[in-house]
A and B are shown apart, each in its own frame.
Chain A
Amino acid sequence: MDTTQLLKGVLDLAVLAVVEDDDGYGYDVLRRLRAGGLTEVGDASVYGTLRRLYAAGALTSYVVPSDEGPHRKYYGITPMGRAQLERQTKDWASFSETVTALLAHHPQGAAS
């Protein structure tokens, strides 16, 4: 199954989750997502999502100059972002439960 379509729906949630405890810059966030198992996530998708969440107020950002390379733009979660993370985590839990339950009644479909 092509997971990129599924990923689109939960990318906001996943990004918020990996910066909840620790601020991170773009590539940092990408690595955390991939390390967490979302290996197919595209870098531009992640960077774009970070910018969008920042514009929506869910993230804050600050620039950290670097001696050995271009400066890095770090993202941290805001209270608004935490609320969104909390709400979307619940939504995801109930949604995935529903879909799992639905699939349980159709074992053939779940097997594929």
Chain B
Amino acid sequence: MNDSLNTDTRPEVEAFVAEVRARLADLSEEEREELLGGLEADLSDQLADGTALGDPSSYAEELRGAAGLPVRARSSRLRRPSLPTAASLEEGLDRSREGFLALVQERAWTRQAWELLEAVRPAWWVLRAWVAVTLLDQVAGTWEYVTLVPTLAVPLLGPGLLLVAVVLSVLIGLGRLWPGSGPRRPLLARLVLVALNVVAVLAPLSFAVMTPVQGDPEWAGYSAGYRDGARQPGLRLDSDEVRNLFVYNANGRLVQGAQIFRGSGEPLTVRPQDAHTGRGDERLVGCGWLNGTTELFNVFPLAQRPQLRGSCLDEPGRRDPGGPLVDAEPPFAQVPPVTSPVPVEPVEPVAPVEPVAPTR
């Protein structure tokens, strides 16, 4: 049989026969050629007479049915996927159940393991009740860690709900309450139970569990690192580094050697490595006031000296000798005078404050 002899086959017939051939793929070569031999000629004549070709899938089924060959029901279902019917779903459930049980019975150890699991089935009933109430606890209200007894914000509500859920779950497990358990029940009940159990298995994956996370030193390290990343060190104004401060008194004069502290007593310290301005030859580093030999960086304005890199704390090197210390250039020579909002006692005249020379 050599179809290539013939050049005049209609393309639609060729395509149709190819489709039919594909649906006979499970047959032996001999059986298939037996069925398809001469089919192109027959169909071409048929088409010439004005009869449409129809559906190749049902055609193949009819052909093999009439030829007394097994009808391949499964393949046609695969090729034309349709919504599962209630009967097919039920059959599927039964089949998976039987398949699973057969698999379990195959080996001694799986059989024993399954017996053990069946014995502790009530524990699963309690567990799934807990999962249900905990899921409710997690979904409702503010975020919180999972606790053994769900809290649900209101006192006693959590434990009460848990108790009710356990009772319901056990009753379902015993088959006393819809949807019940096991085969030989309505399809809907079986599907609902399967869905509920799947949720009960998957839901805990979303729970925020407290203990292992907090106790984990690695996690604590991450946490500290995160805080460090979020915290900006040094003295900043709107996240911009403060490199120097200039303090003016009530008369608007620049104050030399103002020691600045915050209310809690902490010195308001500019980090030495932040206290530089300019670039290259114009680069100046800020140097602290001295308490003995200790440089204090909360005393302002910081004096400056030229230095190409590093801070004032770095010893000047041969390649970067640094320059002489000078006063920092203030932004204003003088600012408007101010008065205190605290009322001044008018009774005793205030003695004029003696000017204090800058101590350097």
Contacts and interface: CB of A to CB of B under 8 A. Distances in A.
B39 A47 contact: yes
Contacts of A49: 66-67
B79 to A, nearest CB: 17
Interface stretch (B1-9, B111-119, B204-212): B1-9
A44 B66 CA distance: 7
Interface in A68-111: 68-73
Contacts of B43: 27, 43
Interface in B1-45: 1, 3, 5-6, 8-9, 13, 34-35, 37-45
A52 B62 contact: no
Classify the secondary structure of A's interface with B: helix
Interface string B57-71: 001101111111000
Classify the secondary structure of B's interface with A: helix
* Interface size of B as a range: 20 to 34
B327 to A, nearest CB: 107
Given A51-B35, A66-B6, A73-B38, A27 B46 contact: yes
Contact of A73 (B13, B37, B44): B37
A44 B59 contact: yes
A54 B65 CA distance: 15
Contacts, number: 93
Contacts of A51: 34-35, 63, 66-67
Contacts of B1: 63, 71
Contact of A43 (B6, B9, B46): B46
Contact of A71 (B6, B60, B66): B6
Interface residues of A, number: 27
A45 B40 CA distance: 16
A16 B322 CA distance: 118
Interface string A35-72: 00000001111111101101100000101011011111
7 contacts: A27-B46, A63-B37, A63-B38, A65-B6, A69-B9, A72-B41, A73-B37
Interface of B: 1, 3, 5-6, 8-9, 13, 34-35, 37-46, 51, 59-60, 62-68
